[in-house]
Structure 1
Amino acid sequence: MALPRRLIDPKTIYLEPEVRNFARGREALERFPDARLIEVASHARIPELFADEALAADWLRMKRDVLVLGVKKGLALRPNGRSADFIAPSTSNGCAMACSYCYVPRRKGYANPVTIFVNVEAISAAIARHAAKLGPKPLPNSVDPVDWVYDLGENGDLSADATITGTVRDLVAAFRDIPNAKGSFATKLVNRELLDYDPRGRTRIRFSLMPEGPSKVVDVRTSPIEERIAAINDFVEAGYEVHVNFSPVIVHEGWEPEWRGLFAAIDDTLSDRAKAQLKCEIIMLTHNAGLHEINLAWHPKGEDLLWRPDLQETKISQNGMANLRYRTPWNKTWLERLLRWRSEMIPYCEVRYAF
Structure 2
Amino acid sequence: MGLSRDLIDIRTIYHEPAVTEFPRGREILDRFPDARRIEVPSHWNIPALHGNAGSVEDWVRIKRSTLVLGVKKGLAMRPNGRSAHFIAPSTSNGCAMACAYCYVPRRKGFANPISLFVNVEAVCAAIRRHAERQGPLPEPDSVDPALWVYDLGENGDLSVDAAISDTVRDLVSLFRTLPNAKASFATKAVNRDLLAYDPQGKTRIRFSLMPERIARVVDVRTSPMQERIAAIDDFVAAGYEVHLNFSPVILYEGWEADWAELFAAIDDGLGAAAKAQVKAEIIMLTHNADLHAVNLGWHPKAEELLWRPEIQEAKVSQGGGANLRYRTGWKGRWLARFTALLAERLPYCSVRYAF
TM over 0.5: yes
Give the letter for the 1:59 counterpart. W
| 1:331 Cα deviation after fit | 0.7
Q: Is the 8 A contact 1:9 1:32 kept in 2?
A: no
User: What does residue 189 of structure 1 align with?
Assistant: 189
Give the letter for the 2:270 counterpart. L
CA distance in 2, matches of 1:88, 1:235: 23
CA distance in 1, matches of 2:201, 2:142: 18
| 1:227 Cα deviation after fit | 0.6
Q: Is the 8 A contact 2:75 2:123 kept in 1?
A: yes
User: What does residue 294 of structure 1 align with?
Assistant: 294
| 1:155 Cα deviation after fit | 0.1
CA distance in 2, matches of 1:251, 1:53: 29
- DSSP-derived class of the 1:44 partner: coil
User: What does residue 310 of structure 1 align with?
Assistant: 310
Q: Does 1:150 align with 2:141?
A: no
Bigger drift between 327-336 and 153-162 goes to 327-336
| 1:210 Cα deviation after fit | 0.5
| 1:258 Cα deviation after fit | 0.3
RMSD: 0.9
Give the letter for the 1:20 counterpart. T
CA deviations on 1:132-154 (whole Å, 9 max, x unpaired) are: 00111111110001000000000
CA deviations on 1:227-254 (whole Å, 9 max, x unpaired) are: 1011000000000000000000000001
CA distance in 2, matches of 1:341, 1:206: 20
Q: Does 1:83 align with 2:83?
A: yes
- DSSP-derived class of the 2:294 partner: helix
Q: Is the 8 A contact 1:92 1:117 kept in 2?
A: yes
User: What does residue 46 of structure 1 align with?
Assistant: 46
| 1:119 Cα deviation after fit | 1.1
Task: Rate the CA distance shift 1:42–1:4 in 2: closer, same or farther, 3 A.
Answer: farther
User: What does residue 345 of structure 2 align with?
Assistant: 345
Bigger drift between 297-306 and 47-56 goes to 47-56
CA distance in 1, matches of 2:135, 2:114: 34
**1:167-246 correspondence to structure 2 within 5 Å:** 167-246=167-246
| 1:24 Cα deviation after fit | 1.6
Q: Is the 8 A contact 2:2 2:191 kept in 1?
A: no
Give the letter for the 1:10 counterpart. I
**1:114-125 correspondence to structure 2 within 5 Å:** 114-125=114-125
CA distance in 2, matches of 1:313, 1:214: 22
**1:87-126 correspondence to structure 2 within 5 Å:** 87-126=87-126
- DSSP-derived class of the 2:48 partner: helix
Give the letter for the 2:307 counterpart. W
CA distance in 2, matches of 1:11, 1:59: 15
CA distance in 2, matches of 1:8, 1:268: 32
User: What does residue 6 of structure 1 align with?
Assistant: 6
CA deviations on 1:314-342 (whole Å, 9 max, x unpaired) are: 11111111101111211111100000001
| 1:344 Cα deviation after fit | 0.5
CA distance in 2, matches of 1:103, 1:315: 14
CA deviations on 1:133-191 (whole Å, 9 max, x unpaired) are: 01111111100010000000000000000001110010001111012000000000000
User: What does residue 130 of structure 1 align with?
Assistant: 130
Q: Is the 8 A contact 2:311 2:327 kept in 1?
A: yes
Q: Does 1:268 align with 2:276?
A: no
Q: Is the 8 A contact 1:91 1:152 kept in 2?
A: yes
User: What does residue 32 of structure 1 align with?
Assistant: 32
Q: Is the 8 A contact 2:185 2:205 kept in 1?
A: yes
Q: Is the 8 A contact 1:96 1:113 kept in 2?
A: yes
| 1:2 Cα deviation after fit | 6.0
Q: Could you tell me the TM-score, scaled by structure 2's length?
A: 0.99
CA distance in 1, matches of 2:207, 2:7: 18
User: What does residue 65 of structure 1 align with?
Assistant: 65
Q: Is the 8 A contact 1:143 1:149 kept in 2?
A: yes
Q: Is the 8 A contact 2:172 2:183 kept in 1?
A: yes
CA deviations on 1:210-236 (whole Å, 9 max, x unpaired) are: 011100110000000011011000000
Q: How many residues align?
A: 355
| 1:51 Cα deviation after fit | 2.4
Q: Is the 8 A contact 1:140 1:146 kept in 2?
A: yes
CA distance in 1, matches of 2:319, 2:295: 22
CA distance in 1, matches of 2:39, 2:266: 46
- DSSP-derived class of the 1:48 partner: coil
Q: Is the 8 A contact 1:4 1:163 kept in 2?
A: no
| 1:313 Cα deviation after fit | 1.0
| 1:4 Cα deviation after fit | 5.3
| 1:20 Cα deviation after fit | 1.1
- DSSP-derived class of the 1:246 partner: strand
| 1:39 Cα deviation after fit | 0.7
| 1:309 Cα deviation after fit | 1.1
Q: Is the 8 A contact 2:2 2:193 kept in 1?
A: no
